[in-house]
Chain A
């Protein structure tokens, strides 16, 4: 069974600084997708970034980038130039084949002005 683990329940960062959120996963498949979702207090889950396992290049979306270490089964999210609007719960998730999307426990990110 696929599992996703986020070992940081809470993180905080100063505005304009860089923060990295950690995620590890376990899968028996060679073809899978990894995601980071953002969930603000309004609770609307928003896709931040996705990574295809077969791609070696790390995905990037503006200030958000990932460090995908396939051998180590690690998938961290780096947020550069943190903004107050980045404050939210962040969930790492994975899916393999036709199986369901599995989420980690989440990391609550606080941005300090």
Chain B
């Protein structure tokens, strides 16, 4: 079974630039999550999709962050414009069940550095 795929693995941009991350979940997983992990901290949920609908985006900074999941499969997370404090690893995860009782499967993450 292929795992959760993410690209790019690394990205360096200057502040005020835009950036986009891509995630392809495990086949058949209806639920997709984007997490932000700042160095030295645990991951923080940014947004959760169930198929192509948003379940929870309460911690997504909507003035600069956006995410979509077209056709209920792949997802993109965009930051526009980026700030220095957005430097973090962005993790995508997917799960088979509607909530995480089955445990989530994580991708390798995208490390973003904002200069």
Q: How distant is the Cα of A42 from the Cα of B98 in the complex, in angstroms?
A: 28
Chain B interface, number of residues (Cβ within 8 angstroms): 25
Asked if A103 and B103 make an inter-chain contact with CB atoms under 8 angstroms apart, the answer reads no
- Kindly specify which of B18-26, B37-45, B67-75, B76-84 makes contact with the partner chain: B37-45
* Shortest distance between the CB of B9 and any CB in chain A (Å): 9
Asked if A95 and B91 make an inter-chain contact with CB atoms under 8 angstroms apart, the answer reads no
- Given contacts A44-B108, A47-B105, are A106 and B41 in contact (CB under 8 A)? yes
* Shortest distance between the CB of B71 and any CB in chain A (Å): 23
Asked if B43 and A47 make an inter-chain contact with CB atoms under 8 angstroms apart, the answer reads no
CB of B104 within 8 A of chain A? Answer: yes
Interface string of A83-110 (1 = CB under 8 A from B): 0000000010101011111111110000
Q: Taking CB as reference atom, which chain A residue is nearest B41? A: A105
Which residues of chain B have C-beta atoms less than 8 A from A68's C-beta? none
Q: How distant is the Cα of A99 from the Cα of B99 in the complex, in angstroms?
A: 7
Which residues of chain B have C-beta atoms less than 8 A from A98's C-beta? 55, 98-99
Asked if B99 and A97 make an inter-chain contact with CB atoms under 8 angstroms apart, the answer reads yes
Binding site for A on B (CB under 8 A): 33, 40-45, 48, 55-56, 89, 91, 93, 98-101, 103-109, 111
